[in-house]
Amino acid sequence: MRLQVEWNWPSVGTECGTVLGPKGYGAVQVAPPQDSIRLAGSSHAWWDVYQPVGYDLNSRMGGEAQFASMVSACHAAGVKVYVDAVLNHTAGSNQTSTDSYGGDSFNPAAYTYAAIGYTSSNFHFDPPCPNSDLSIKDWNNVTQVQECQLLSLSDLYTEQDSVRGKLAGYLNKLEGYGVDGFRMDSAKHIAQADMAAILARTNNTNAGARPYVYQEVMPGGSGALAPAAFEGNGNVLGFDYAYGIRSAFLGRGIRCGARRWRCRRTQRSSTSTSRRIRTARSSGSPAATGRPVPGLRGRSR
């Protein structure tokens, strides 16, 4: 899979036809396609597309027709399209801009998003968040992680049926254009039961399959916040896999957990590379077997 998270839709479509398809890529992950906040001065910070203000498909990356054309071009090249989906929150409550790329009307300070139909009643406050400033103070506390604000981002009340319906409707719209699956941004901050309820409302893809779901769950938690606790709703991005690869390139060896293939720390030497290869082969690692989708935990797809 190739990540094209900062590319506009015409460029992604062209890349699918001229590079990704011919090179044998199976899928491409694209940026969040919904309308989002636009900061004053048009600074185009990478993170502004992760602050939704409307679920129409007129965004920083292009218009709805351009999005549909991109998906069709990628499919024609044999490349599936996975969308980065932001369901946990809307724009930051600390933002002063009321401008968006697609023109949707919103007021982050008042928690109103006219194009979607959200009002302040559709967001988590205190309670259920136990902190008056709505911040997360204890990252091992399930209630705080899932019902308080992540970095001041307005946290949606995903327990509400109306909110679930709007989020599922957005995903179904994307599937209607041929989208094959979703990377769930900030999935750790959405209760597993809420995510399951949203996904239960999604349609099959145009290919007749369930949408492929993989979730952003940062490591470090335990119990209900451990990455394994989210696997019932789809795959989980393996951040420890990336950390291990980085460590190997820096000559520190690969640190392995109980859920990873067996490996051993090797010292820098002329034989270190062959040692790593032998260790991987003896245990059936993705590097040795060529298994698809490295770095994902949970259900294989």
Q: Which residues carry out catalysis?
A: 185, 216
d(CA 102, CA 117): 16
Amino acid occupying residue 298: G
H or E stretch including 241? Answer: helix 239-249
Residues in a beta bridge with 182: 83, 213
How is residue 129 written in tokens?
């968040």
DSSP string, 4-41: ETT--HHHHHHHIIIIIHHHT--EEEE---SEEB--TT
Q: Residues of 144-173 as b/e, b for ≥16 C-beta within 10 angstroms?
A: bbbbbbbebbbbbbbeeeebbebbbebbeb
d(CA 75, CA 64): 17
Written in H, E and C, the secondary structure of 250-283 is CCCCCCCCCCCCCCCCCCCCCCHHHHHHHHHHHH
How is residue 245 written in tokens?
């690869």
